[in-house]
Chain A
Amino acid sequence: MSVDTILSFEEAMEKYDPVLGFEVHVELNTRTKMFSSAPNVFGDDPNTNVNEVDLGMPGVLPVVNKAAVESSIKIGLALNCKIAESCRFARKNYFYPDTPKNFQTSQYDEPIAYDGWLDVELEDGTVFRVEIERAHMEEDAGKLTHLGGQAGRIQGADYSLVDYNRAGVPLVEIVTKPIEGAGSRAPELAKAYVAAVREIVKNLGVSEARMERGNVRCDANVSLRPHGQERFGIRSETKNVNSLRAVEHAVRYEIQRHAAVLESGVPVTQETRHWHEDTRSTTAGREKSDADDYRYFPEPDLVPVVASREWVEELRATLPEPPAERRKRLKEAWGYSDLEFRDVVNAGVMDSIEETIAAGAAVGLTADAARKWWMGEIVGRAKAADVDPADLGVTPQAIVELNQLVVDGKINNKMASQVLDGVLAGEGAPAEIVEKRGLAMVSDDGPLLEAIDAALAAQPDVADKIRGGKVQAIGAIVGGVMKATRGQADAGRVRELILEKLGVQG
């Protein structure tokens, strides 16, 4: 495998403007497949979720899954598209063993949704509008595993295994118009765009939207043109870039590679590229040209999909609040700073915080308290366990109870952390754990006064300092008391008692 030369990103940007384009495939989470009644389930034993239709047996016919059409219309509406009143499927003909019929049934010149846009927010809050050309319905192919020979490629493989469970899974392909003017922010925009699409389909509930499972797959088109030039350069299409980070890296890499090719005076080859996560680079795939001939023609086994305006409006009425609008609303309601809110979003705990605030409304749990719990203890533990915070196993209700225990002075923060351990260990509700673990704070002043006397006696010099007005030295005495009470004292109360005892104002 030859290694391509690349220019530095900065050098590339000095001379060229990137133009991007994305084809994002979204696997829908319908119960059954696009054209058959076989289950649409991920992760089952190979070739178990198939019937005669999925296997392309002689004589079979497709029937369009109405739920998939509904999901597609929802996606179209969420992307501000127009919805076709009537549209057809076509056949894309090519021989390949992952396609049981040797054609893919896909929409071609009549997409169900077209002419939309999506506002994509970058990290610093800049909003970039991406024009959507179309969102069309199609079916997924089976999954091939090539064994022997050059790893993972059909060429030279000894044999290949095919799993048709994925064949016929409903897909919506979202195609952007060429995205111009992103300049050096192109890689960042690429990532933000795919993230936004992923968020939308997840929010709509039409896809599991898990990129690691291939629920959302991105093909990234990149071309460069010299500053000031109108005409687009020749593009490459990097296939199946399947994480948000990879989208950013692949676009950046392709910009650098194109720049190097152009600098050398050779035209860019129009081709597909494969992204390699390990080397963070792309390699040439199939050469792609307009001569690729899929012999599209209207699918004669299906009648047109008709979306009445009434149906479209019914579906529009069911759409959830768009993620961007929801974020804006929540940020204002919670009074977080830009930075605080961005951290919350990036940590993936916005939903959890919202639920926690709702669950704690009756006891007056504040938005700040909810944020501190999630962004502190929980995010830290989730990171350590390498899971999403929401998947850690802590319910909003548990947080509310935990917080209330602290507010009521029954436990301190250090104890709260131990209670959380108990919650995660499945020991029960926070109050039960406090009980079981014997974590109740010492609130009787008697034992505390004894401990304070002992601490003052042990450190007379410190006691003198405090009497002399150096109140900040009190920490050493408080520490001694806490140690003596095995942390079960309320530090605030200890401090008050010490000052009282020494006759000093706090």
Chain B
Amino acid sequence: MSSFEPSTELIRLSAAALAAKLKAGEVSAVEVTQAHLDRIASVDGEINAFLHVNTNEALAVAAEVDGIRAAGGAAAEELHQLAGVPIAVKDLIVTIGQPTTAGSKILEGWRSPYDATVVRKLRAAKMPILGKTNLDEFAMGSSTEHSAYGPTRNPWDLERIPGGSGGGSAAAVAAFEAPLALGTDTGGSIRQPGAVTGTVGVKPTYGAVSRYGAIAMASSLDQIGPVSRTVLDSALLQEVIGGHDPYDSTSLTDPFDNLVAAARTGNVEGMRIGIIKELHGEGYQAGVENRFNESLELLKEAGAEIVEVSCPNFKYALGAYYLIMPSEVSSNLAKFDGVRYGMRVLPKDGPLTIERVMAATRAAGFGDEVKRRIILGTYALSAGYYDAYYGSAQKVRTLIQRDFAAAFAQADVLISPTAPTTAFKLGEKLNDPLAMYLNDVATIPANMAGVPGLSLPGGLADEDGLPVGIQLLAPAREDARVYRVGAVLESLLEEKWGGPLLAQAPVLDSNSTVAGGSL
């Protein structure tokens, strides 16, 4: 056991740095994993990032990695470079051996009989899974306040939201409870939490990562992606989880450019970076605009050509999204009916018919936001309304794709703030769904077009000292570009800050009560 590095420092290392130390034998996987478990035990009572902590299995996997390394030989050589680097998994992704709740009461206590494809890949890489992270119920929300298991808090300010729906994964990484996490992004659920917690989050190209085992919210928009503290770490993680999966017909078959190599390119000279006219300015917080402009200046200084592009149909994206997404939700969530698994509620009085049991189960099991979207979607798909709602929304989707195509004819990468504001206060928008939905205005277009998007920390807003996210977008299958530009911008910004942005985050009280046990 190497004692020169206190575990409080181990948890601050990037995944890449941990991987290097593990490989060099400077630290054991058990030490790394235990350090994170200790951190979870120490701070998660305040953060509530984890719905389930997977202590025994995580340590067992770590011990296995250490054993293989100690034995040496071919098996040690063949270990994945991230073997022994722990990871947290959003509780929308199914795992054998741990509960999966999707943040909903309706799945309380349910255990999946199968692993999601991405989880199988984590296991194959021997990455210890620390546990399952909190989320808005069925990933529906931008604040994690819609979780049936209480909100997650933002490590920068415990009175503020960590974003959503993947607030748990983002907060866990921001609070040094995990170096890496998996998220899912349907309209910004990886990128917006990344923005408001000062972490990196990537929504890969639609189809780049298998969705098999991610509990579907809106199938045509959902995408699993990495959450980390550095751009390189996300690239490393996407290389682990990406690739074609025969269990997901929508997963892509062609290989991508190497993402890790792209993140290590180190220059943006001559690259054309397009500012999307419609995704900044009015409606965006002043501090967000300032940090955005600062990033543009840095990129320009680094030799990138900054151009302005217009995507006139993006203004319809939010409206179209709130027809397509709920339509798919209404169908995807029909299976939660109390018949085969999960919660079953019998009606209090009256006959016990199947319809009434299904209705009572769904009434008790789903929260208000989920019900709101099921109702919206059911309406949008109804005969007589389909063409006006779902049909029109699909046309808007095509227009957004055309806007992207035109924009990418002028620029290699597009840039915008990730979210219009910094983290808002818990409860602030809970009763105003429309205000909540507006938080995703800049992230939704990428889902509508299936293109990759990366959010990285752009600094702190002047007015509230909270993190601002910068979003980079590239054409479908060109994920390498967002990693390349993201890594360069990240190094320029860190040079300016004199270190990672999270070094400026308040130190969490490590003496708070231990939490995070199983549900």
Interface set of A (CB-CB < 8 Å, partner B): 52, 55-64, 91, 93, 95, 97, 100-103, 154, 160, 162, 291, 293, 295-297, 300-303
Q: Which of A58, A60, A101, A297 contacts B390 (CB 8 A)?
A: A297
Which of B250, B331, B336 is packed against the most chain A CB atoms within 10 Å? B331
Contact bitstring B306-343, A, C-beta under 8 A = 1, else 0:
00000000000000000000011011001111011100
Contact bitstring B437-468, A, C-beta under 8 A = 1, else 0:
00000000000000000000000000000000
Q: Which of A57, A61, A62, A97 contacts B112 (CB 8 A)?
A: A57
Q: Which of B93, B107, B218, B381 contacts A295 (CB 8 A)?
A: B381
Decide yes or no whether B219 CB sits under 8 A from chain A. Answer: yes
| Chain A residues whose CB sits within 8 angstroms of the CB of B382 once the complex forms | 293, 295
| Chain A residues whose CB sits within 8 angstroms of the CB of B213 once the complex forms | 59-60
Contacts A59-B112, A59-B116, A59-B214 given; does A301 touch B249 at CB 8 Å: yes
Decide yes or no whether B267 CB sits under 8 A from chain A. Answer: no
Contacts A97-B339, A297-B381 given; does A57 touch B113 at CB 8 Å: yes
| Chain A residues whose CB sits within 8 angstroms of the CB of B216 once the complex forms | 59, 61, 301
| Chain B residues whose CB sits within 8 angstroms of the CB of A56 once the complex forms | 335, 340
Contact B249 A59 (CB under 8 A): no
CA distance A160 to B93 in the complex (A): 32
CA distance A97 to B344 in the complex (A): 14
Between-chain CB contacts (< 8 Å), 25 pairs: A55-B340, A57-B112, A58-B107, A58-B341, A59-B214, A60-B213, A61-B212, A61-B216, A61-B247, A61-B249, A63-B248, A63-B249, A91-B331, A93-B331, A95-B337, A97-B339, A101-B334, A102-B334, A154-B354, A160-B354, A162-B339, A295-B382, A296-B381, A296-B386, A297-B381
CA distance A97 to B337 in the complex (A): 9
Name 15 extra pairs, CB < 8 A, besides A60-B213, A95-B334, A295-B378. Answer: A52-B112, A52-B113, A57-B114, A57-B341, A58-B107, A58-B215, A59-B93, A59-B214, A61-B249, A62-B249, A93-B330, A95-B358, A291-B383, A300-B218, A301-B250
Contacts A58-B112, A59-B212 given; does A302 touch B331 at CB 8 Å: no
8 Å CB interface, B350-371 against A: 354-355, 358
| Chain A residues whose CB sits within 8 angstroms of the CB of B219 once the complex forms | 300-301
CA distance A199 to B239 in the complex (A): 52
| Chain A residues whose CB sits within 8 angstroms of the CB of B105 once the complex forms | none
Contact A100 B107 (CB under 8 A): no
CA distance A59 to B213 in the complex (A): 4
Contact B328 A102 (CB under 8 A): no
Decide yes or no whether B100 CB sits under 8 A from chain A. Answer: yes
CA distance A253 to B446 in the complex (A): 59
Contact B114 A52 (CB under 8 A): yes
CA distance A93 to B380 in the complex (A): 13
Interface set of B (CB-CB < 8 Å, partner A): 93-94, 100, 102, 107, 110, 112-114, 116, 211-216, 218-220, 246-250, 327-328, 330-331, 334-337, 339-341, 354-355, 358, 378, 381-383, 386, 390
| Chain B residues whose CB sits within 8 angstroms of the CB of A60 once the complex forms | 212-213
Contact A93 B341 (CB under 8 A): no
CA distance A55 to B218 in the complex (A): 20
Q: Which of B215, B250, B327 contacts A297 (CB 8 A)?
A: B327
Considering the complex, give the chain A residue whose CB is closest to the CB of B377: A295
Contact A93 B249 (CB under 8 A): no
Which of A61, A293, A296, A302 is packed against the most chain B CB atoms within 10 Å? A61
Considering the complex, give the chain B residue whose CB is closest to the CB of A164: B340
| Chain B residues whose CB sits within 8 angstroms of the CB of A103 once the complex forms | 331, 334
**Shortest distance between the CB of A161 and any CB in chain B (Å):** 12
CA distance A291 to B250 in the complex (A): 33
Contact B381 A97 (CB under 8 A): no
Q: Which of B215, B330, B378, B390 contacts A59 (CB 8 A)?
A: B215
Considering the complex, give the chain B residue whose CB is closest to the CB of A94: B334
Across the A-B interface, give the 3 residue pairs with the lowest CB-CB distance, nearest first.
Answer: A102-B334, A295-B381, A300-B219
Contact B381 A58 (CB under 8 A): no
**Shortest distance between the CB of B132 and any CB in chain A (Å):** 13
CA distance A160 to B116 in the complex (A): 32
| Chain B residues whose CB sits within 8 angstroms of the CB of A59 once the complex forms | 93-94, 100, 112, 116, 212-216
Contact A58 B340 (CB under 8 A): no
CA distance A489 to B276 in the complex (A): 106
CA distance A380 to B302 in the complex (A): 95
**Shortest distance between the CB of A246 and any CB in chain B (Å):** 29
